[in-house]
């Protein structure tokens, strides 16, 4: 398991929150609630955050960032001294399309974010967990998942609304998908060179945990949802699971690693159901909507979060 040395805090965290956009994308109402609730629970667990310097006299605001400032802020975080942090958590709250995050004046390729924090570019986080919650408001498609009936004998697959949906009617539940655009590619490769000496090496892409509010891979194509009053389904469930675990409400003596906690979050989100009005073939219809989160891990060990009264088990990183 990953070791949290005595002199280190459990981790550092940063939350990027894009609410308003320069062009046609709608304001993301409810996202301030997400940021507030996430900040509270991460701070309670023991994560710390600090300013991201823009220059000698000014710090970045991580809200409604433009492309230039967003790129510079990521570089500034990657260059920080993480010797006193056992991990890093970065959360992105925004609209998204495919492999891009929507910013105030444009979009940014998600893959380019990962590359800034690989061990070759960010040695301070080498062999430490790096948790990126792009999935929080990054939508992996434009379809609406209407769910499937749960009866074992007569399960009925409901239709997926994709091209048929001409527009969505205003309601308390909104999605964060934007029209698909061409993905950007990068030819950058990470290399390791030795001089005849047997060195212990690890992949540059090791120790990442990438979370998504909506499924990706072969299950991709659906939206994630946000209540304009209470915040996103995923954040509400994530905060609830982390709070319950930290306060040890089930009086369990067992610790859960981060992937086990995310599985609980996925189950909670999957149980959520909402009603949404859409305009389909010039008729207003009310449909049920569902959401299925996912996560991808290159963690090489278990990463445990602490309870409120006891520390997590310690481990050897060697």
**pLDDT at residue 188 greater than cutoff 90:** no
pLDDT at residue 103, rounded to an integer: 92
pLDDT for position 192: 39
Least confident of 39-53, 94-108, 210-224: 210-224
Where along the chain do its domains lie? 11-143+193-273+291-297
How far apart are alpha carbons 119 and 83 in whole angstroms? 14
Nearest Cα to Cα of residue 131 among 148, 113, 144, 150: 113
- Least confident stretch, 2-16, 115-129, 198-212, 270-284: 270-284
201 pLDDT more than 60: yes
- 116-167 pLDDT, tens digit each: 999 989 999 999 999 998 754 444 444 444 444 444 444 333 333 333 333 4
Mean pLDDT over 102-126 rounds to: 92
Q: What is the pLDDT of residue 293?
A: 83
Q: What pLDDT is recorded for position 29?
A: 83
Q: Beta-carbon neighbour count of residue 219 at 10 Å?
A: 13
Positions of E strands within 56-162: 58-59, 88-93, 96-97, 100-103, 106-109, 130-135
Please report the pLDDT score of residue 185 as a whole number. Answer: 37
β-bridge mates for residue 275, sequence order? 288
Q: Are strands 225-227 and 231-232 parallel, antiparallel or unpaired?
A: antiparallel
pLDDT of residue 53: 93
Closest of 17, 3, 82, 8 to residue 50, by C-alpha: 82
Of 9-18, 91-100, 120-129, the poorest mean pLDDT is in 91-100
Specify the pLDDT at position 217: 46
Q: What percent of the chain has pLDDT over 90?
A: 39
pLDDT at 187 over 60: no
Lowest mean pLDDT, pick from 160-174, 234-248, 265-279, 300-314: 160-174
| Mean pLDDT, rounded, for 196-210 | 75
| Rounded Cα–Cα distance for residues 226 and 236 (Å) | 10
- Find, among 255, 246, 262, the residue nearest to 297 by Cα: 262
Q: What pLDDT was estimated at residue 2?
A: 82
Task: Please compute the mean of the pLDDT values over residues 263-283 and round it to a whole number.
Answer: 71
**Residue 270 parent element (H or E):** helix 258-271
- Predicted confidence at residue 115, as pLDDT, reads 94
Antiparallel, parallel or unpaired: β 208-212 and 225-227: unpaired
Q: Does domain 11-143+193-273+291-297 have CATH number 3.30.70.20?
A: no
Pairwise pLDDT comparison (41 vs 270), residue with the higher score: 41
Rounded average pLDDT over 155-182: 43
Residue-wise pLDDT for 236-268, tens only, equals 889 999 999 998 877 776 778 999 999 999 898
What is the DSSP secondary-structure string of 182-245?
A: PPP----------SS-------TT-SEEEEESS--GGG--B--EEETTTEEHHHHHHHHHHHHH
Residue 207 has pLDDT above 90, yes or no: yes
Identify the weakest region by mean pLDDT among 46-50, 108-112, 184-188: 184-188
Q: Tell which wins on pLDDT, 306 or 296.
A: 296
Select, from the ranges 59-68, 221-230, 290-299, the one with the highest average predicted confidence (pLDDT): 59-68
Sequence-distant (6+) residues with CB within 8 A of 35 are 15, 17, 93
């Amino acid at each position: 398991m990953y070791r949290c040395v005595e002199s280190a805090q459990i981790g550092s965290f940063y939350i990027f929150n894009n609410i308003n956009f320069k062009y046609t994308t709608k304001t993301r109402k409810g996202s301030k609630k997400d940021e507030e609730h996430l900040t509270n629970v991460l701070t309670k667990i023991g994560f710390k955050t600090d300013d991201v310097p823009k220059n000698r006299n000014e710090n970045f605001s991580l809200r409604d960032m433009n492309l230039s400032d967003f790129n510079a802020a990521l570089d500034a975080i990657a260059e920080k001294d993480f010797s006193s942090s056992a991990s890093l958590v970065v959360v992105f709250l925004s609209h998204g399309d495919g492999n891009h995050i929507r910013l105030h004046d444009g979009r940014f390729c998600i893959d380019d974010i990962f590359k800034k924090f690989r061990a070759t570019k960010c040695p301070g986080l080498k062999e430490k967990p790096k948790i990126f919650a792009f999935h929080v408001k990054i939508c992996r498609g434009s379809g609406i998942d209407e769910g499937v009936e749960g009866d074992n004998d007569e399960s009925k697959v409901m239709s997926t609304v994709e091209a048929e949906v001409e527009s969505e009617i205003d309601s308390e539940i909104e999605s964060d998908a934007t029209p698909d655009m061409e993905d950007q590619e990068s030819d950058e490769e990470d290399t390791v060179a030795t001089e005849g000496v047997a060195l212990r090496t690890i992949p540059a892409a090791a120790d990442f945990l990438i979370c998504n509010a909506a499924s990706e891979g072969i299950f991709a194509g659906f939206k994630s949802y946000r209540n304009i009053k209470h915040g996103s389904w995923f954040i509400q469930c994530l905060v609830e699971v982390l709070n319950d675990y930290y306060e040890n409400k089930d009086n369990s003596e067992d610790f859960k690693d981060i992937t086990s906690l995310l599985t609980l979050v996925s189950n909670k989100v999957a149980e959520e159901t909402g009603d949404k009005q859409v305009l389909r073939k010039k008729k207003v219809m009310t449909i049920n909507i569902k959401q299925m989160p996912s996560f991808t891990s290159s963690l090489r060990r278990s990463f445990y979060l602490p309870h409120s009264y006891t520390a997590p088990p310690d481990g050897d990183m060697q």
